[in-house]
């Protein structure tokens, strides 16, 4: 853990929520901040755009996307909102936006707002959990498509259930007739990602999770067919070509949305380099070792809670895994379970336990990152054995 700024007195099993940034990347970001504050005008007007392009190119190469269609956003939720807000003038009144029962709550809310504004509706496809295979996911989603479906929103890696979905197969059955927006919040750095091969109209994801960049760095990629219509959720100088340093009008919508601290997105290339150096096999080794560790951790936790059989097949796992827990005696009012609070305060274990799909049903979701060891999951098993008796 020498290169991580994490508290060694805490067992960190929730990398999936907010990520963690290596110390050398944080130091790099701090250097950028110091440079910016020595001459804010010079940095913003002369250093910022070239540095942004360097990071855009590095990220585009890493995710298999063309840089012309790639922009930085603060987080994946911002990317989803940018696409939805832009499409409100394009979607027909009464149109349906298709989500799933495993869509991230923030994105559900964003879709509902857009549906209300266009006089449309949100349709929810019921994807099973437990799920037998990826073909069950494909069938559940495609069976919910109707003639009124104007947009489909898919998770690449589901937040509540920790499953990697076959998004390319679903996209191939829908595009170009029905545009698809992929929320890949967990995907870059967790699984091998080729955005161009996915084939969706829109793909947004975070860099602060599995790429381990500083918080505040994410991306949105838009297919060339839609770049003339997609705008940032924050309308700024690029709307009337008032940001001349960008290489295109599409980039200009996002490159400057007002004064902020840009150092997170300017540190993405450094994060790609630093984290890749953690393993002798680079990013392929990072992805492989994290997956192997979460599979082993899942076995340990499943045994501790007496679970027979897994809700997600192993070939649909990345670096997170969710397991159903016995229902609590008294269901709490919050989505976050009291067990999660007890694990935090009594055991110094950070792991999400939340009601899903609705109380009293609940799941526990573990993560695996380079700072984790088998001992972390054994400690969680010990705590669960004590708390669930």
The two tokens of residue 81 are 């909102």
Domains of the chain: 11-22+281-387 (3.90.1150.10), 24-273 (3.40.640.10)
Query: Band of the pLDDT at 327, cuts 50, 70, 90?
Result: confident
Exposure string for 182-203, b = 16+ CB within 10 A, e = fewer:
bbbbbbbbbbebebeebbbbbb
Give the model confidence (pLDDT) of 220-272 as tens digits: 999 999 999 999 999 999 988 878 889 999 999 999 999 999 999 999 999 99
Query: Band of the pLDDT at 331, cuts 50, 70, 90?
Result: low
For residues 252 and 18, the answer to whether their CB atoms sit within 8 Å is no
Name residues whose C-beta falls within 8 Å of residue 372's C-beta, 6 or more positions apart in sequence.
12, 13, 15, 293, 297
Check pLDDT > 80 for residue 329. Answer: no
Residue 236's pLDDT is what? 94
Name residues whose C-beta falls within 8 Å of residue 52's C-beta, 6 or more positions apart in sequence.
72, 255, 262, 265, 266
Query: Band of the pLDDT at 148, cuts 50, 70, 90?
Result: very high
Check pLDDT > 80 for residue 64. Answer: yes
Query: Band of the pLDDT at 332, cuts 50, 70, 90?
Result: low
Give the model confidence (pLDDT) of 66-97 as tens digits: 999 999 999 999 999 999 999 999 999 999 99
* Mean pLDDT of the residues in the chain: 95
Where do the H-state alpha helices sit in the chain?
Answer: 15-18, 23-38, 40-42, 48-63, 76-87, 105-117, 134-142, 167-174, 195-198, 249-255, 268-276, 282-305, 338-347, 374-387
Name residues whose C-beta falls within 8 Å of residue 57's C-beta, 6 or more positions apart in sequence.
67
Among residues of the chain, what percentage have pLDDT more than 70? 98
Residue 318: name the closest of 227, 143, 187, 123 by CA.
187
Mean pLDDT, residues 207-228 taken together = 98
Mean pLDDT, residues 196-217 taken together = 98
Give the model confidence (pLDDT) of 273-292 as tens digits: 999 999 999 999 999 999 99
- Summarize the chain as % helix, strand, coil (round to 5): 45, 15, 40
Check pLDDT > 60 for residue 333. Answer: no
pTM score, two decimals?
0.96
Check pLDDT > 50 for residue 201. Answer: yes
Residue 1's pLDDT is what? 40
CA distances to 29, 100, 199, 327, 332 from 362, rounded to whole Å, are 38, 18, 34, 6, 11
Among residues of the chain, what percentage have pLDDT more than 90? 92
Exposure string for 12-39, b = 16+ CB within 10 A, e = fewer:
bbbbbeebbbbebbbebbeebeeebeee
The two tokens of residue 74 are 């603060």
Mean pLDDT, residues 177-195 taken together = 98
Residue 337's pLDDT is what? 85
Check pLDDT > 70 for residue 334. Answer: no
Residue 61: name the closest of 302, 272, 361 by CA.
272
Residue 22: name the closest of 375, 377, 369, 373 by CA.
369
Give the model confidence (pLDDT) of 2-42 as tens digits: 589 999 999 999 999 999 999 999 999 999 999 999 999 99
């Amino acid at each position: 853990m020498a290169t991580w700024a994490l508290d060694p007195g805490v067992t960190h099993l929730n990398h999936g929520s907010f990520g963690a940034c290596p110390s050398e990347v944080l130091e790099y970001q701090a250097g950028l901040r110091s440079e910016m504050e020595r001459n804010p005008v010079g940095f913003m007007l002369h250093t910022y755009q070239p540095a942004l392009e360097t990071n855009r190119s590095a990220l585009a190469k890493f995710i298999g996307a063309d840089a012309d269609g790639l922009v930085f956003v603060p987080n994946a939720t911002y990317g989803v909102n940018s696409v939805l807000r832009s499409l409100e003038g394009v979607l027909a009144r009464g149109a349906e936006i298709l989500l799933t029962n495993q869509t991230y709550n923030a994105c559900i809310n964003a879709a509902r707002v857009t549906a209300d504004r266009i006089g449309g509706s949100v349709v929810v496809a019921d994807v099973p959990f437990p799920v037998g295979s990826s073909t069950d996911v494909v069938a559940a989603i495609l069976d919910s498509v109707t003639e009124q479906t104007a947009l489909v929103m898919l998770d690449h890696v589901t937040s509540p259930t920790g499953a990697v979905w076959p998004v390319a197969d679903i996209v191939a059955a829908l595009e170009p007739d029905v545009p698809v927006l992929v929320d890949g919040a967990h995907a870059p750095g967790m699984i091998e990602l080729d955005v161009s091969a996915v084939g969706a109209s829109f793909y947004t994801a975070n860099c602060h999770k599995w790429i381990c960049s500083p918080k505040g760095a994410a991306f949105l990629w838009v297919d060339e067919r839609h770049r003339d219509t997609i705008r940032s959720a924050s309308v700024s100088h690029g709307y009337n070509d008032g940001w001349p340093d960008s290489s295109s009008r599409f980039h200009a919508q996002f490159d400057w949305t007002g004064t902020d601290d840009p150092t997170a997105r300017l540190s993405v290339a450094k994060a790609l380099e630093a984290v890749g150096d953690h393993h002798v096999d680079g990013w392929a080794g990072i992805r492989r070792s994290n997956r192997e560790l979460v599979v082993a951790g899942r076995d340990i936790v499943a045994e501790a809670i007496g679970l027979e059989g897994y809700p997600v097949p192993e070939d649909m796992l990345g670096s997170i895994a969710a397991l159903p827990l016995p229902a609590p005696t008294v269901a709490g009012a919050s989505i976050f379970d009291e067990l999660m609070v007890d694990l935090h305060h009594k055991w110094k274990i950070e792991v999400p336990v939340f009601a899903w799909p609705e109380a009293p049903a609940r799941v526990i979701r573990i993560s695996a990152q380079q700072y984790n060891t088998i001992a972390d999951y054994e400690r969680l098993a010990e705590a669960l054995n004590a708390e669930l008796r």
